[in-house]
Each structure stands twice: as C-alpha cells, then as structure tokens.
Chains A and B, each alone.
Chain A
C-alpha cells in the first residue's frame, strides 16, 4: 500500500506530538505513569502503521478485508479495549470510594461515642 510522503510525515509529527504531550502531562503530575504506558503504546502503534503501512496490508490479507476497513476495525477494537479498561478502573475506584466513605461514617460514629460517653 502506498502512502504519500507528506502523509507519513504528518503521522510522524502527530506521534511525536502525542509523546511530547504525554511526557509533559506526567511531568506536571496530571497523568499517572500507569496510563501513560497505554498512550505511549498508542503512539508507538500509530508510528508503526505510519512507517510500515504494509503491516496493515498483512492484517487485511489475514482478515480478508479492504485495508481501510481493516484500519477502522483495528481502531475500533483498540478503542473498545481502552473503554473497557477505563470501566474497570472506574469500578475499582468506585468500590474503594464506597469502602472509604463507609469507614469514615464508622469512624465518625465512634468519635461521637467517645466524645459523649454518657450518651448511649
């Protein structure tokens, strides 16, 4: 598959911009390193498709689809995986938040009891 040279340059620039943004976000403490890995991998895979478009052709041949359809398919699966990952993270956060809130309520109850020992 032929990709025009200026398109490849654009993809390359995009990847480097993405990597730059991620590094800056980590530096500013706004992005956890754990999630940075996902985004760095994303940049890397875009970069690979950019400099080696035949990898896409290879996948297209395996799944027997037009390369554009393959591109959409790959992106779609990738996005689905990311969304699933985020849902898992949110669920875990939710559970921890719930437990924390319950512990706080419990501690507050105990504290009030200690403060007024005559209050049954």
Chain B
C-alpha cells in the first residue's frame, strides 16, 4: 500500500568540508529516494559545503563549530525528532554510500526493524579495509554481536537507517568520540 511513501523520511548527511562532493551526493539521493527530505548537517565547515548543499535544494543546519561526526549525526536525529520524521537515514557526505541501497534499509525499517545498517561485508564488495581497520571492525562486530545476541556484520558502518523509536533513543544517548562502533 506504499507504506514507505506515506511515512516521512529524513536523510541526514553529516558534512565537514565536503564541497565538491556534497551536491553530487544530494542529487544521487534525490534520484533514488525522491520522496525523502534531505538535511545536510554542516559541521562547522570552512568551505562552500553549506552553500552548495543549499543550492542543491537540501535543508542545511549549520553547527557553529566543528563538533565531530557523532554530534553532527545526533543533531540530525534531534532534527528528525522535532520535525516528527518516522525514519532517519544517515549517509556520509563524501559519496561513499550508494544511495540506491537506501530503499533497502527503509524497507527493513518498514518490516518493524528499529535500526538497519548498510554492511560492507554481507555481500562481496570491492571494499578492502587495511589490516588494522579490519581487525578493529572484527573486534567490535564480535563484541556487539555478543552483547545484543544477534550477528551484526558491520557495526562500524556509517550508513544506517533508524526508526522513530531508535531516533528518540539516539537523541538521548549517542557517543561523541567513537560513534561508529
């Protein structure tokens, strides 16, 4: 019944000095999920990020200084909470996340999941992390899987979708320093 369409979705793009790529990211997202609102959280950028984002038609919320990715994303969640969005999707401003996959995350939320993470490892991709990074990803994946009692493949991915319930929780408590764990 077009459930996804009837629900309000906010795409949150945390961006710090992403001029030259943020506009392309916005365009791509609009192509794949035209019904979603796009919010660029300008994390104290000193370049033309905010301007380019605004010219691309996205809403821009500017933080007065560079607060870090964690606080920037949380600001987006705060926005989603205040404006009554049902779903919030986090997409990085540098274009590393394929917008074509957003609908997959959203349909997971539509099936009653509260947090859907776009993993780099469930399917074969070209992504090859460095050895130390790979080790870190495995450790956190193992720990988080152990704690929640469910296999989480990629806990450190910054490509994720949250239901309203998750958004409300994340506006209350969200790590500042290592938000991707």
Q: How many B residues, CB 8 Å from partner?
A: 17
C-alpha spacing A48/B67, complex, angstroms? 46
Q: CB distance B176 to A98 under 8 Å?
A: yes
Cβ contacts under 8 Å, B61 to chain A: 105-106, 108-109
Cβ contacts under 8 Å, A109 to chain B: 59-62, 79
Shortest Cβ distance from residue B178 to the other chain A in the assembled complex, whole angstroms? 15
Q: How large is the interface on A (under 10, 10 to 19, 20 to 34, 35 or more residues)?
A: 10 to 19
Shortest Cβ distance from residue A88 to the other chain B in the assembled complex, whole angstroms? 16
Given A106-B78, A106-B82; A101-B64 close (CB under 8 Å): yes
C-alpha spacing A55/B78, complex, angstroms? 55
Secondary structure type dominating chain B contacts: mixed
C-alpha spacing A109/B59, complex, angstroms? 9
List the count of A-B residue pairs having beta carbons below 8 Å apart.
36
The digit string for B62-97, where 1 denotes a CB below 8 A from any CB of A, is: 111101000100110011001000000000000000
- Which of the listed residues A94, A98, A108 has the most CB atoms from chain B within 10 Å of its own CB? A98
Q: Does A102 contact B (CB under 8 A)?
A: yes
C-alpha spacing A94/B174, complex, angstroms? 13
C-alpha spacing A35/B59, complex, angstroms? 44
Q: CB distance A102 to B59 under 8 Å?
A: no
Shortest Cβ distance from residue A47 to the other chain B in the assembled complex, whole angstroms? 41
Give me the interface of A with B, judged by CB distance under 8 Å: 94, 98, 101-106, 108-109, 120
7 nearest A-B pairs in the assembled complex, by CB-CB distance: A109-B61, A102-B75, A105-B63, A105-B61, A98-B71, A102-B78, A105-B75
